[in-house]
Chain A
Amino acid sequence: MHNGGRWIEGYGCHINVLISMKIIMKNFGDFLSSRPSGKEAYLSAQAYIFPSKDEADMIELDFEGVKVLTPSWADEFVTPLAEQWGNKLHFLHTDNLSVKATLEFLKQIPIA
């Protein structure tokens, strides 16, 4: 049975594991607003944070502590990640009203 993870050898058998990378979005700021800021965050994360698909099976964006997320910022950061990772991109702590509204809104925009 294979659930999309990777097989590793351990304890005398093969184990299927899923490796997820969690990205703490508050590290980019409490207020995630404007396209230039989102783009800069994405480029920086691309250089130093994002895993390759060899290194991780999924990415989790954790929005705990984020106060404002605008669609412009998210379109520069989240949209390209969604294009690369598809349904392997997950979101955590999306209760904040602006985070929820923005992520739901982005889902409706067709990805080119």
Chain B
Amino acid sequence: MKELIPQIQKAFDWVSMDNGVGFLLPDEHCPTRDIFQARADKLVIECASDRSIGENAYLLGLVIGEIGNNTFDHNLGNWRDERGAYFVYNADQRMVVIADRGQGILATLRQVRPSIADDCEALTVAFTETLSGRAPERRGNGLKLVAKVVQEQQWKLEYRSGCGTYVIDASASACTMADDGLKGMVAILTF
């Protein structure tokens, strides 16, 4: 991951620290879903007026919407401390960063499939199967379409949760394991 880019470093710093309360700036922090959605919609409108992005901005809205709303779907009322999402956009790098201090993918999916061995297996399931930690609710398909759109548009998504980093780009999708675990999630979309 491009850990030198400030927005990415800040995401990892926030998710990794013992207490994340008060670390983020107001315009970086989306404490509720409504605030996240309003900022995501605004980003889509800005990108749509950029000729180099054009109508692909609407696919960007789909991907950001699915990833960001998952933060609230699966962590509402159950945050480690600071609630909500970190959400920033780097125009020069054409990059969006979303992060949260939630349960992480492994913990949510183990609610319904205790046999999941590790973070990489959990991430692979999240992006390839229709399974949700909120079963028996009928849901769990959003990240599948995220993966499809990212590949077809030749973007890049790096999704880190726990020790696993799931990377999707035009050529492939694969997960690698790190030694240190991240409690929560950091997603970096480059488009």
Q: Report the separation of the CA atoms of residues A75 and B149 in the bound assembly, to the nearest whole angstrom.
A: 17
List 24 contacting pairs A-B, 8 Å CB cutoff, sorted by A: A31-B65, A33-B37, A34-B65, A35-B139, A36-B33, A37-B37, A67-B44, A67-B61, A68-B62, A70-B62, A70-B65, A70-B66, A71-B145, A96-B55, A97-B56, A97-B58, A98-B62, A99-B58, A101-B59, A101-B62, A101-B149, A105-B144, A105-B148, A109-B141
Interface size on A, residues (CB 8 A): 23
A residues whose Cβ falls under 8 Å from a Cβ of B: 30-31, 33-37, 67-72, 75, 96-99, 101-102, 105, 109, 112
Q: Is the CB of B61 within 8 A of A34?
A: no
Q: Is the CB of A97 within 8 A of B55?
A: yes
- Residue among A31, A37, A112 with the highest chain B CB neighbour number at 10 A: A31
Q: Report the separation of the CA atoms of residues A72 and B70 in the bound assembly, to the nearest whole angstrom.
A: 10
Given contacts A31-B44, A96-B55, contact A68 B141 (CB under 8 A): no
Inside 8 A of A102's CB, which chain B residues have their CB?
A: 62, 145
Q: Report the separation of the CA atoms of residues A8 and B12 in the bound assembly, to the nearest whole angstrom.
A: 67
Inside 8 A of B130's CB, which chain A residues have their CB?
A: 109
Q: Tell me if B84 counts as interface (CB < 8 A to partner A).
A: no
Given contacts A67-B48, A68-B61, contact A31 B41 (CB under 8 A): yes
Q: Which residue of B lies closest to A96 (CB)?
A: B58
B residues whose Cβ falls under 8 Å from a Cβ of A: 33, 37, 40-41, 44-45, 48, 55-56, 58-59, 61-62, 65-66, 69, 72-73, 130, 138-139, 141-142, 144-145, 148-149
Indicate which residue in B69, B72, B145 contacts A101 across the interface (CB closer than 8 Å): B145
Q: Report the separation of the CA atoms of residues A36 and B72 in the bound assembly, to the nearest whole angstrom.
A: 10
Q: Give the shortest distance, in Å, between A30 (CB) and chain B (any CB).
A: 8
Q: Is the CB of B59 within 8 A of A98?
A: yes
Inside 8 A of A30's CB, which chain B residues have their CB?
A: 41
Q: Report the separation of the CA atoms of residues A31 and B58 in the bound assembly, to the nearest whole angstrom.
A: 9
Q: Which residue of B lies closest to A31 (CB)?
A: B41
Inside 8 A of A98's CB, which chain B residues have their CB?
A: 58-59, 61-62
- Residue among A71, A99, A105 with the highest chain B CB neighbour number at 10 A: A71
Seed contacts A31-B61, A75-B139; 6 additional CB < 8 Å A-B pairs: A67-B45, A67-B58, A68-B61, A70-B69, A97-B55, A101-B148
